[in-house]
A and B are shown apart, each in its own frame.
Chain A
Amino acid sequence: MNSMLPKFLTTLLLSVYGLYNFSARYFTEVFKPPYEFKETIRQFFEIGNKSLGLVSLTGFIIGFVLALQSIPMLTKFGAVSLIPTMISISIVREIGPVIIGLICAGKIGSGIGAELGSMKVTEQIDAMEVSATNPFKFLVVTRITATTLMIPLLIIYADTIALIGGFIALNIFSGQSLQLYFSTVFSALSFADVLPATVKTFFFGFAIGLVGCHQGYNASRGTESVGIAANVSVVHASLLVIIIDMIAVQITMILF
């Protein structure tokens, strides 16, 4: 059957099947004791806390630049008062989750892929297995759980920083007050903006953790495979973030 399919299609189908199996194993193991609480909390710190700097800077620049780019255009139409509304809706619904999702795919996805890949190459995963510990539970379940829960928090945090960035740009270049800006920002947002945008970030987090762990855990022997695992993790995780976003937008349009 393989010979009838183009090579890239066979590779794609095998990758999807591999990810499906890996996620099925995650859901089987995640609820089974023993639970690795200590390692999960350490991963929360590694994934969440250590990404704060990058996410803060990115979030601030997104908001600042978005406001800055909009001011001249909307001033021409006499619609400067609409800028806070535009910033809040575009950041919360789309720009914040997608850009921070892609940043996390790069930083966290590649980090997990490289770390697990190097553990595989240096036989640390085998060492865990022979010391009668389930390495999948210790390494994979903890990381996927941490990305699934921490990436949404990072995105919410980055959205907030982006809104602050937008305010600073508006304040400097059009003298907008803090009270007016934030009252407009919050009144522009509805349940239908916030809920779907937040829900999809859990899927982003799950996809980023899943891809990174899958690539690293299944790295073949040899140092080259560590680089490949990190690289493929970024590419696949970024792609999945965009695909999930596209599906989420369609579902949101149908439901809300």
Chain B
Amino acid sequence: MTDNPEIKTKSGTDREVVVNTEHLKITLGGNEILKDINLKVYRGETVIILGKSGSGKSVTLKCIIGLMAPDSGTVNVLNKNVPDLGIKELQEFRTKLGFIFQSGALYDSMSVRENLEFPLVRHEKLSEEEIEARIRETLSDVGLEDAIDKMPSELSGGMRKRIGLARTLVLKPEIMLYDEPTTGLDPATSVEISKLILEMQEKFKVTSIVVTHDIKCAELTADRIVVLKEGVFAAEGTFEELEKSGDEFVRGFFE
């Protein structure tokens, strides 16, 4: 499956589907983590995947970016079926996606500047001055221009997440995948990060998929929420719709 036509939405406008998984199934260590995942994400929207710990939210993201291969089903992203991509195609494809890890996953042995430089020098043909300018501009977007020469060990949890976001944004991706971006942060910093996600969404018009169980983050950033339960999506809707859901499991996230 490689074709991915524009989909007619309820509002009647044509919107391009950029992520489309169908009957996605994956088993890890004998446990069926994802049973039948069907997810459509339209260009420019922010979709939140809500679910309990260990429900397979991160696995879904890893399938979308090709870090994990599904047992069956299709993962169609930007008109490419990800499991079918070869190494070179996969690398080319990944330059259009950004992945924010739960821990930030900054390279410990490199400074903030080198962390941002790392993807740039490998994928963009820019002069040293242009690279420096792009790094400073991206750091300024996340409000951390002063941290350019710091090492990751000198940064707080919130700063690490911001730099992780900057490292991803520096390549100007079309789709952003956030793996629990507010986990381990205090409530105030969590809200800051959620607002930053929203700002970046508005500024760069990227499509975002955010995996979280932080309901405040979901409320601030979501256009649409899907709830993952026992390997399938149990509910889908806007924050307001799901808040009033009759399903006890779904309502449990909003209490």
Contact = CB atoms under 8 A, between A and B. Distances in A.
For chain A, the bracket of interface size reads: 10 to 19
B210 interface: no
Contacts of A134: 87, 91
A24 interface: no
Q: Of B94, B105, B168, which is in contact with the most chain A CB atoms at under 10 Å from its CB?
A: B105
B232 to A, nearest CB: 25
A193 to B, nearest CB: 40
Contacts of A123: 101-103, 105
B122 A127 contact: no
B103 A131 contact: no
A125 to B, nearest CB: 9
Contacts of A119: 107-108
A14 to B, nearest CB: 18
A132 B95 CA distance: 6
Contacts of A133: 91, 118-119, 122
A130 B123 contact: no
A130 B103 contact: no
A124 interface: yes
Q: Of A118, A123, A127, A133, which is in contact with the most chain B CB atoms at under 10 Å from its CB?
A: A127
A132 B65 CA distance: 10
Given A126-B67, A127-B99, A132 B91 contact: yes
A130 B94 contact: yes
Interface string B100-112: 0111011111000
A131 B167 contact: yes
Contacts, number: 53
Contact of B105 (A34, A115, A127, A132): A127
B97 interface: yes
B92 interface: yes
B103 A122 contact: yes
A126 B118 contact: no
B171 interface: yes
A122 B160 CA distance: 13
Contacts of B119: 131-133
A127 B108 contact: no
A224 interface: no
Contacts of A118: 108
A82 to B, nearest CB: 50
B104 to A, nearest CB: 9
A98 to B, nearest CB: 31
Contacts of B118: 128, 131, 133
A129 B90 CA distance: 10
B100 to A, nearest CB: 9
A129 B67 contact: yes
Contacts of B171: 131
A129 B99 CA distance: 10
A131 B101 contact: no
B93 to A, nearest CB: 8
Interface string A109-146: 00000010011001110111111111000000000000
A198 B68 CA distance: 44
Contact of B107 (A127, A129, A130, A132): A127
A151 to B, nearest CB: 21
A117 to B, nearest CB: 12
Nearest to B95: A132
Interface string B120-157: 00110000000000000000000000000000000000
Contact of A127 (B91, B95, B101, B109): B101
A147 to B, nearest CB: 17
A1 B123 CA distance: 47
Contacts of A115: 109
A124 B122 contact: no
Given A118-B108, A126-B67, A127-B107, 20 more contacts: A34-B122, A115-B109, A119-B108, A124-B105, A124-B106, A124-B107, A124-B108, A127-B99, A127-B101, A127-B106, A128-B107, A128-B118, A130-B94, A131-B119, A131-B167, A131-B168, A132-B91, A132-B95, A132-B119, A133-B122
Nearest 9 interchain pairs by C-beta? A127-B105, A132-B94, A130-B99, A123-B105, A132-B91, A131-B119, A123-B101, A132-B95, A124-B105
Interface of B: 65, 67, 87, 91-92, 94-95, 97, 99, 101-103, 105-109, 118-119, 122-123, 167-168, 171
30 contacts: A34-B122, A119-B107, A119-B108, A122-B103, A123-B101, A123-B103, A124-B106, A124-B108, A126-B105, A127-B99, A127-B101, A127-B105, A127-B106, A127-B107, A128-B107, A128-B118, A129-B94, A130-B65, A130-B94, A130-B97, A131-B119, A131-B171, A132-B92, A132-B94, A132-B95, A132-B119, A132-B122, A132-B123, A133-B91, A134-B87
